[in-house]
Amino acid sequence: MDNCTNADVSALESSLKSLLPAASSFDRDRLFFRAGQAKPSSRRWPITAGVLALVAGTLGTLQVLRPEPPTLERVVYVRVPVALSEFPPEASQPAPALVPAFVTTFEPDSFFRLRDQVLRGGLDALPEPTPFPAAGPPARPTTLLDRF
């Protein structure tokens, strides 16, 4: 290519200009028409599409009509060892007391009040947490029925 002259390039250009595209005997539309004629008619695809539409509709209906899952509430007890000095001398082996590890009373606006308090004063504005009782029966959580 480095030894090409202007005369060589112009000769190549003129020879390329003289070429004409060959007429094609390929007819795309006729090919597709003949392929459609050769294919035997089958009802397999319409039936499959109908079954899949029915399955999708059924699953969608079941998802919409599904009931809400039940709310699970439970109190978790943690065994806390009790010092021997709290029991009379005749009790040689005291049983460990059961203390609830997580008991909460929920008031509807308590979360928002606490959030606003923390946003105004930072983490230092949080109130001191209430300690758990050392022993005794667990506290009964309040319910909506207790308010009426």
pLDDT in tens, 14-28: 999 988 888 778 888
Question: Where in the sequence is the domain holding 140, given as residue range(s)?
Answer: 77-147
Alpha-helical runs (H) found in the chain: 6-17, 28-38, 44-65, 110-121
Residue type, 12: L
Domain count, the chain: 1
User: CA 54 to CA 47: how far, in whole Å?
Assistant: 11
Q: Is residue 29 part of a domain?
A: no
Q: Is residue 63 part of a domain?
A: no
Q: Is residue 46 part of a domain?
A: no
pLDDT digits (tens, 9 = 90+) for 119-128: 888 878 777 7
Q: Is residue 34 part of a domain?
A: no
Question: At residue 8, does pLDDT exceed 80?
Answer: yes
Q: Is residue 98 part of a domain?
A: yes
Q: Is residue 44 part of a domain?
A: no
Q: Do the Cβ atoms of 85 and 101 come closer than 8 Å? A: no
The model carries a pTM of: 0.28
Q: Is residue 42 part of a domain?
A: no
Q: Is residue 68 part of a domain?
A: no
